[in-house]
Amino acid sequence: MASSIHDLARHLNISIGTVSRALNGRADVNADTRQRVLEAAKQLNYAPNQSGRSLRQGATHSIAFMMQPHPGDLEYGEPFFIPFLTGLQAGFAERGLDLIVAMGAPGDYQQERLRRVVETRRADAVVLAWTRREDERIDYLTERGFPFATLGRSRSGSTSYPSLDLDFEKAGSEAVDRLVARGHRRIAAIRPSLDLNFGHLFLAGYRKALRRHGIEVDPALIADGFINEAGGYQVTPRVMPAEDRPTAIIFNNDAMALGGCKALAEMGIRPGHDIAVIVIVDTPLCRYFSPALTAFRPSLEPMGRRLAEMLLASLPAFAGPEGPRIIREVWPLELIARESD
Amino acid sequence: MASSIHDLARHLNISIGTVSRALNGRADVNADTRQRVLEAAKQLNYAPNQSGRSLRQGATHSIAFMMQPHPGDLEYGEPFFIPFLTGLQAGFAERGLDLIVAMGAPGDYQQERLRRVVETRRADAVVLAWTRREDERIDYLTERGFPFATLGRSRSGSTSYPSLDLDFEKAGSEAVDRLVARGHRRIAAIRPSLDLNFGHLFLAGYRKALRRHGIEVDPALIADGFINEAGGYQVTPRVMPAEDRPTAIIFNNDAMALGGCKALAEMGIRPGHDIAVIVIVDTPLCRYFSPALTAFRPSLEPMGRRLAEMLLASLPAFAGPEGPRIIREVWPLELIARESD
DNA sequence: CGTTTTTCCGTAAACGTTTACGACAACACA
DNA sequence: TGTGTTGTCGTAAACGTTTACGGAAAAACG
């Protein structure tokens, strides 16, 4: 059915070795021969069998992005996703690598899927997202010596891997600054209950800024819940006591913000009127919500592209002449002022 | 580094053939031996090298989903995506198949990427989305004899492949019925300008329903544009003439609807008050938009799961004892009444 | 006990590549 | 002419599996 390198060689009356060398651009092949091989390859539309190549070279020429829908994403759709992936794939494609996104079932935290990818050598490296403070995936990969990069930092695995993260601490801090400048003193914070690292960073920034402004941190104004709309809906009322209510809320996640706003509305509290709302990571939903939510926006597509570069720079096979190096970056979030604060 | 079947065999003092047979559950291996092999495999955490397996078996054990972001998706995020993929991956995982999402750059219509996947035999079959009326990808795959299934129908490639589609014709028709029942007579329709098949189906349903109600189809009330927010924004004014304006609009796409509503708002026409709006494919954005948009909702996760089943049923290697069969289904869309109509 | 069947396992080929190695011819140089 | 160099190509091994085949031992059977 599909043509192999043997067909090509037979068709040209030369050996498969020469065909392979011609195709791979090696120097020791006559210019004429190379030309003939390339033409014949196009004509028979031959492309080397990936399994054969991988087996021989010990490299799959593909990078796996471990993607794990959270429970609730089925209704939500995770709009964060496509722009980042588009950049990531572009960054790898430039170096001839395929991006494969490896999915698991929602909620099972990838460990099993990750092991499969690594142990069956389906990819040459992996990209992790949703990093946790203590992340067993990172521990596993470092222990196994398998190359990877992360979107987000972690305390696991020291700092011996490339990582690209957003400055959630600064964003949390800036959100407080902005609210305080507008006269707010009682500011609530809502974040995911998982060990997700950005939740910790955000809260650190929030706390620091409050102290800087001489405002005492009130534990009653901090809550966490499931990282989805239902989580926000469920947990928001907890930071809205009957008396001495907060006048502002910062949500660490867009889905939680939407659920939270629903809860507020049901309590008769109008976001943007009776209470100020700021969201840390902007998505299209923040823009279309009513009132449009003030939010901090990441530049996802460039981030994807950059993380691909960073991972490749750490791999001996792809690093430049100066050798592999570990790059770690923290990117800013840009405040998009809208109507909700 | 990574352990091979040879290591395992040496460790157990048996031949690699026996190891392989034990691992693959063949009958001709002693129960004791099998037990020992399985334990040793777990202990050395051995998993068969995929490249080796694929090469020998001529099968990659993976299915490629061709995903192609449209221009504009970088801001939009395509929320359709994750729920469908989650179901798709679940359906394949049950049969031991990996789903790999093969991405290309935005806008270049996959043909190149598809060829690469097929010719380098990176997957055993592919799943196509965004089918067009005349779809060169389908032509290519049928001509090449490469197995595939589609989300959406097409006129290409006869009907010799499994396909799962939504009943856009019925939805278009029901949308008109609903609007007419509420007293509307001048109803505009906006759809994507690409040859996307669902755009044709929608319009057919729209036309049929109008005629059924004795309403003449006015070409001035039908327009098409880019399938994104900018497209909707740009094209909606064209169906809003100064006199004899439509009192309702049906959008064939959520992103276009959001852009269209923005254009309407700028013209001083309030969706849900001054004009009725219905969207054919619901996404979370329709729910959160203000006014919340009445829309037709697909059940994406079950669709993904079902399409996986259907593709597998068409493959000799996975079909049941009754042999492979081509299943084609059309699923209904459920009307979610909200505030905009 | 002899013969047949069954159970279990080892051997070796094959999948499609890439690449180290060596061979051969042509050429340059002294 | 002899020696070394360069350019080009063929040969064959190797990557890690799976599997057809055959054989030896054990079991079943008469």
**B210-238 pLDDT tens trace:** 999 999 999 999 999 999 999 999 999 99
Report the percent of chain B where pLDDT is more than 70. Answer: 100
Whether CB of A61 is under 7 Å from strand C: the answer is no
In B, which residues are within 8 Å of A73 by CB distance? 82-83, 86
Do the domains B168-297 and B62-165+300-330 match in fold?
yes
Residue B28's pLDDT is: 93
Determine the residue of chain A that is closest to B286 in CA distance: A288
Distances (CA, A) of A13 to A47, A205, B36, B236: 18, 69, 50, 62
Report the percent of chain A where pLDDT is more than 70. Answer: 100
Protein chain B, residues 55-114, with a C-beta closer than 7 Å to any atom of nucleic acid strand C? 55-56, 58
Residue A1's pLDDT is: 58
Residue B20's pLDDT is: 97
Question: Domain B168-297 maps to which CATH number in 1.10.10.10, 3.40.50.2300, 3.90.1010.10, 3.90.480.20?
Answer: 3.40.50.2300
pLDDT at A215 over 80: yes
CA B10 to centroid of chain Cα atoms: 47
Q: What are the structural domain ranges in chain B?
A: 5-48, 62-165+300-330, 168-297
Report the topology of domain A5-48: 434 Repressor (Amino-terminal Domain) (1.10.260)
B284–A285 C-beta distance less than 8 A: yes
CA B29 / C1′ C2 distance in Å: 28
Output the CATH code of domain A62-166+300-332.
3.40.50.2300
Bond before B162 cis per omega within 30 degrees: no
Q: Is A60 on the interface with B (CB under 8 A)?
A: yes
Closest CB to B81 among A77, A90, A283: A77
* Whole-angstrom distance, CA of residue A33 vs CA of residue A304: 40
Residue B72's pLDDT is: 78
A30-85 per-position pLDDT tens digit: 999 999 999 999 999 999 999 999 999 999 999 999 988 887 777 777 788 889 99
Q: Which residues touch strand D (CB under 7 A)?
A: A 13-18, 21, 28-33, 52, 55-56, 58; B 4-6, 16-17, 20-21, 23-24, 28, 46, 48-49, 51-53, 55-57
Bond before A291 cis per omega within 30 degrees: yes
If contacts are CB pairs under 8 Å, which of residues 131-170 in chain B contact chain A? 145
Are B184 and B213 in contact by the 8 Å Cβ rule? The answer is no
Whether CB of A24 is under 7 Å from strand C: the answer is yes
A308: CB partners within 8 A, 6+ apart: A63, A87, A88, A89, A90, A91, A92
Q: Is B285 on the interface with A (CB under 8 A)?
A: yes
* Whole-angstrom distance, CA of residue B187 vs CA of residue B305: 36
Residue B1's pLDDT is: 58
Residue to substitute from A4, A44, A50, interface B, most B β-carbons within 10 A:
A50
Tokens of A241: 């006591």
Q: Is B55 on the interface with A (CB under 8 A)?
A: yes
pLDDT along chain B (341 residues), means of 10: 90 96 95 96 95 96 90 76 91 91 79 92 95 94 95 89 98 98 97 93 98 97 94 97 94 95 95 96 91 96 97 93 93 97 91
Are A290 and B290 in contact by the 8 Å Cβ rule? The answer is yes
- More confident: B186 or A108: B186
Q: What average pLDDT does range A164-193 have in this prediction? A: 97
CA distance B122 to chain A (A): 6
CA distance B284 to chain A (A): 6
Under CATH, domain B62-165+300-330 is a member of which superfamily? Response regulator (3.40.50.2300)
Give the max Cα distance, chain A: 89
